Amino acid sequence: MTNPGMDADIYDAFIEQLQRYVRERLIPAEDQLEELGRVPDDILAEMRDMGLFGVTMPEEYGGAGMNVSQYVGFIRELAYASPAYRSIVSINIGMVCKSIVGFGTDQQKAHWLPKLAAGSIAAFGLTEPDSGSDSAAMKTRAVQDGNGYVLNGTKRYITNAPFADMILVMARTNVEALPKNAHVSAFLVPRDAPGVSIGKPDGKMGQAGSQIADVILEDVHVDGDALLGGEEGIGFRAAMQSLDNGRLSVAAASVGYAKRMLDVGLQYAMERKAFGEPIANFQLIQAMLADSKAEIYAADCMLNDACARADRGEKILVEAAATKMFASEMCGRVADRVVQIHGGAGYLKEYLAERFYRDCRIYRIYEGTTQIQQLVIAKNMIRDFAG
């Protein structure tokens, strides 16, 4: 079933406004963001007022109702600026929205989606100290208690945890590892529920302003209506389906940031002179610029195709994995070339190239490492070949 999304003219006008906002407001505030270690409060308020936390929420719940192509286009434009701006909104409009819309009860949708659309911040609790891609190793438990559940465990590297109002927590409802990961259920847990605590924000290589931390659950009691969909055993399926959106979001972020990096690299190459002329005139510099442009274009094409398939209702597990893998690796290569174009200056904090290089390294790791994407792609190829 095709998803038409927002009216095309309204969407185009929104993107045009967003492009101006990114360049005139968000980019100039990047140094302040780095110094604070978070998105400044005034900018966060503006992002809420612009509806950026609800772009994919259905219109009946206060959102803009963007389809996948429009959502990815939005991320691509927002990610031209510091990754922290995308990070603060992406969990709401990507993985958590997808999970609630796809699997939530009518009551859960009515309760949570309007709050998230208005700017209540969500976190997605899947990864653990000893469990990320391996759900069988998940230790967080949810034990039935009367008409509710008691949750115990620790989630690690959880984006937005220090700011979150709600956490979508994956937990075992069966001690055994069941087929198709039916031992994993999902719970909508308010951040202020007794027993929920947040660890100290982790120091990171890059992406200043985007905070991650542990989420510790100690005898956290939730009512039965916190169980996503009111059904045990669907948590991993919800997580995996929402991860398609998450992977497209990271791919879009990789493309958006790579475009920014290339623009900065080109500007430097035009302004920096050596042997009496701009270094952009040197063919080996031109090769790095051209390779970067071609790879960004290729990733853009992959994104557009994967999103179009998703909007037609097709399953895009392999396409999302392939796009995330290529785009994130591409972004790393562009960052490396931009540092190289800057020469010694590229290694100095005074120049943006150094920040770009650190910021984009995580794209090859979260929402499934490059190696996990390779396994997803290859296993599906083998399964399809075997019939």
Active site residues: 367
Report which residue type is found at 130.
D
d(CA 214, CA 219): 16
Task: Locate 59 and state its tokens.
Answer: 């219109």
Contact (CB, 8 A) for 356 and 280? no
Q: What is the DSSP letter of 25?
A: I
Which three-class secondary structure string do you get for 45-110?
HHHHHCCHHHCCCCHHHCCCCCCHHHHHHHHHHHCCCCHHHHHHHHHHHHHHHHHHHHHCCHHHHH
- Distance separating alpha carbons of residues 75 and 49, to the nearest angstrom: 17
Closest by Cα among 150, 197, 202 to 172? 150
Q: SS3 breakdown of the chain: % helix, strand, coil, rounded to 5?
A: 60, 15, 25
Instruction: Give the start-end residues of each E strand in the chain.
Output: 122-125, 141-145, 148-159, 166-172, 184-190, 196-198, 212-223, 273-274, 277-278
